DNA sequence: TTGACATGCAACCATATGGTTGCATAATGA
DNA sequence: TCATTATGCAACCATATGGTTGCATGTCAA
């Protein structure tokens, strides 16, 4: 799970996910055309996305096709964001009250 | 938005959010008791959470109370995760087919 | 007023991170 | 076969990051 958060921390990697979202199954070369960075730079980012299992690769001859795997993102939502979401209104209310108290003092 | 992703990337910072989730409005000192790290180390992490607006502070005398702000997390869900969620089943199906093709070849 | 407490600021350090270049390997197609 | 194409691996570099320590500042309470 930590790998997923770390992988999502870099804007270039989120951009790669966006590119695969627009068109799934792209090769490294395809993705490089959209990124202003060396091929090896892009490959490194993709490697981290693979470790986090946000991207799954399928070899086809000498081409490496990259596919989006939505499962880890779903898990982040279910196990982590959903938790905060549930108490969202209460947290906001607590915060509002604390700010009010501060203004009174 | 990038600040939020970066803030969430570190496990210690996610732990701090968890601590505030359990008990909102804690001071730096309170939070330090639960973290095996120097006070300044914790303060640095909290500073990043503040920049990302995941945590909002309220001064009360010499004490700094930390409150969870659920808004950025909600935004990540709405603007980012929700997007991938929508196409989740389709992405999985595309991936499954690609893996099948690989096995055939 | 003064000592203790809660926090901030700044310097410093080791390691992680993001990027590059150069060369190696393997598949394709003429 | 052989040039081309697609990718991998490794070394290297600059900067970011996560942590520390030491000292400064401001507030509380006796």
Domain ranges across chain B? 1-69, 70-105
Residue A34 burial by CB count (10 A; 0-12/13-18/19+): exposed, middle or buried?
Answer: middle
Say if the Cβ atoms of B8 and A9 lie within 8 Å. yes
Say if the Cβ atoms of B98 and A69 lie within 8 Å. no
The yes-or-no verdict on residue B105 having pLDDT over 60 is no
Let me know: does B46 contact B7? Beta carbons within 8 Å.
Answer: no
Residue B104 burial by CB count (10 A; 0-12/13-18/19+): exposed, middle or buried?
Answer: exposed
- Is B1-69 a CATH 1.10.10.10 domain? yes
Q: What is the structure's pLDDT at A89? A: 79
Summarize pLDDT for A36-95 with one digit per residue, the tens: 999 999 999 999 999 999 999 999 999 999 999 999 998 998 888 888 877 777 888 888
**Cα–Cα distances in Å, from A50 out to A3, A68, A93?**
10, 10, 40
Mean pLDDT to the nearest integer, A18-45: 97
Q: How far is the CA of B65 from the C1' of C12 (A)?
A: 29
Nucleotides in C strand less than 7 A from protein CB: 5-11, 17-22, 26-28
């Amino acid at each position: 799970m930590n790998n997923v958060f770390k992988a999502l921390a870099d804007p270039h990697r989120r951009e790669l996910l966006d590119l695969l979202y627009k068109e799934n199954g792209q090769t490294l070369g395809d993705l490089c055309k959209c990124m202003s960075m060396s091929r090896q730079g892009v490959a490194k980012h993709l490697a981290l996305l693979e470790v986090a299992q946000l991207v799954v690769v399928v070899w086809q001859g000498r081409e490496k096709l990259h596919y989006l795997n939505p499962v880890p993102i779903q898990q982040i939502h279910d196990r982590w964001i959903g938790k905060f979401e549930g108490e969202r209104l209460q947290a906001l209310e607590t915060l509002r009250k604390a700010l009010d108290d501060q203004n009174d003092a």
